[in-house]
Amino acid sequence: MAEHDIDLFVIGGGSGGVRAARIAASYGAKVMIAEEYRMGGTCVIRGCVPKKLFVIGSHVQQELEDAVGFGWTIPQASFDWSTLIANKDKEIARLEAAYTVNVEKSGARVVKARAVFEDAHTLRLATGETVKANHVLIATGGAPNHGAEIPGIEHVISSNEAFHLPELPRRVVIQGGGYIALEFAGIFSGFGSDVTVIYRGDNILRGFDEDVRAHVRAEMEKRGITILTRCTVTKVDRHGKEFTTHLSNGSSIASEQVMFAIGRHPNVANLGLEKAGVAINPKNGGIAVDGWSKTSVPHIYAIGDVTHRHNLTPVAIREGHAFADTVFGKRPARVDHATIPTAVFSQPEVGTVGLTETEARAQFGFVDIYEATFRPIKATMSGRDTRVLIKLVVDGASDRVLGCHIVGDAAAEIIQAVAIAVKMKATKADFDATIALHPTAAEELVTMRTPTARHVRQAAE
């Protein structure tokens, strides 16, 4: 084998690639990481971080409204979109700099340029430089997908552009029913926009627990967000600064902005993968990998959204760390993709871990459901019409808690702690033996004693 310039070349400076580069360098590997846009990737630059900042900001109007019930008289507040954007940009720039500095401190070299394969060991940079690497890690992430071409698709924005709008639109149409669509629906609505969500399925949040889907939709509609299901956008017309969105049900909607959030695709194009012999997974369009994140080429690995397995930042980070431990730390580590907690920062917020009721009933013979919906203590004074949902899915035979689903304030914060118990295979008896923390919404997790439903799987005939 020819002598290689470096031990590891990482393509992509997002959260997963950065973690892999830093850990590999800490083991003494000679590492280079190439990023063609901005260090930090989707999550830091145009995803979870700016999105969460927007979500926090959009809660303020509701807090002001709720404050009246607690005796506060607050003068009419005003909101400036451009200030939000400027302050968000400042924070993202700070984080990007921190990512770059931390990688360089680890001893890895950062190159701000696109990198493509010349062959299985050779990378060519946009700067003209070529590098030979013993190992290569592909961590190029994913990008928004607008789906099928429709007339007027050029007028549609994605979540990428939503972070840089020059002004807050008065009316917004959002097509999609998943994380991103619902999070931006809450953001725009919270800042004062009139929001309509369009989704092709029978209900939003496909893949989530059915009770969660119904609860979130009802709560969003209470807050004035219009949700239209079983239809799609067929055409978008522009009239100056306004748009007319035509739907498959024959109706149309006027707005100042149209956004699609209907899915994401792995960034696999124009990387020279065919020159390296890296195979694509025909089922999802991502790079095909095994349980160790190894591709069809033994020394080339791929992690994160580019594999289209579990498109979550913490998963990419864990995969990147495990790769570095395995290949350079001589400490084999395989990521367990089961029981991954996740959150939707919609309004209301969703936190979930483990199996849904439908999944549990398909896998287990006896399933017990414990469910509670109630007004949070804050609403008793604010007068707001809102309810919290807490649901436990339990294996009726072993008493093990298979899943937990929460909708309400701080759902994500709660589910992170609950995920530890679910991962440890805690039983319902373990939950019951834990003393409640009162007054909290989360105390319902340990005070629900009687199943609200019990299911016995029918034997196949």
Measured CA to CA in angstroms, residue 156 lies from 197, 240, 255, 259 at distances of 14, 14, 12, 5
| Averaged pLDDT, 398-406 | 98
**Over 60: is that where the pLDDT of 231 sits?**
yes
Q: Coil, strand or helix: which one is 404?
A: strand
Given this model, what pLDDT does residue 146 score? 86
Which domains are delineated in the chain? 6-144+265-327 (3.50.50.60), 153-262 (3.50.50.60), 348-456 (3.30.390.30)
Tell me how far the alpha carbon of residue 258 is from its chain's centroid.
Answer: 21
**Over 60: is that where the pLDDT of 1 sits?**
no
Percentage of the chain exceeding pLDDT 90: 95
The single-letter DSSP state of residue 436 is P
Closest residue by Cα to residue 341 from 401, 422, 408: 422
pLDDT digits (tens, 9 = 90+) for 76-114: 999 999 999 999 999 999 999 999 999 999 999 999 999
Helices (H), 191-276: 210-222, 273-276
Angle at 262 between CA 256 and CA 267, to 5 degrees: 115
DSSP 160-212: HHHTT-SS--SEEEEE--SHHHHHHHHHHHHTT-EEEEEESSSSSSTTS-HHH
Closest residue by Cα to residue 118 from 103, 110, 128: 128
Phi, psi (degrees; rounded to nearest 5) at 446: -115, 5
- Buried b / exposed e over 419-441, threshold 16 CB at 10 Å, is bebbeeebebeebeeeeeeeeeb
Question: What distance in Å separates the CA atoms of residue 31 and residue 110, rounded to the nearest whole number?
Answer: 9
Tokens of 141: 């992430």
Residue among 321, 405, 438, 455 flagged as catalytic = 438
Beta bridge partners of 265: 143
Annotated catalytic, 438? yes
Percentage of the chain exceeding pLDDT 70: 98
Helices (H), 107-178: 159-162
How high is the mean pLDDT of the chain?
95
Given this model, what pLDDT does residue 4 score? 67
**Over 90: is that where the pLDDT of 243 sits?**
yes
Report the relative pairing of strands 366-374 and 350-354 from DSSP bridges: unpaired
Phi, psi (degrees; rounded to nearest 5) at 139: -140, 55
Measured CA to CA in angstroms, residue 436 lies from 47, 138, 353 at distances of 35, 46, 20
DSSP 308-323: TS---HHHHHHHHHHH
Position 147 confidence tier, pLDDT thresholds 50, 70, 90: confident
Helix and strand tally (H, E) in the chain?
15, 22
Position 3 confidence tier, pLDDT thresholds 50, 70, 90: low
| Averaged pLDDT, 256-263 | 95
Q: Which residues contact 168 (CB under 8 A, 6 or more apart)?
A: 79, 81, 188, 191, 192, 193
Given this model, what pLDDT does residue 459 score? 54
Residue type, 124: R
pTM of the model: 0.94
Q: How far apart are the two ends of the chain, measured CA to CA in Å? A: 60
Position 126 confidence tier, pLDDT thresholds 50, 70, 90: very high
**Over 70: is that where the pLDDT of 460 sits?**
no
pLDDT digits (tens, 9 = 90+) for 436-451: 999 999 999 999 999 9
pLDDT digits (tens, 9 = 90+) for 267-313: 999 999 999 999 999 999 999 999 999 999 999 999 999 999 999 99
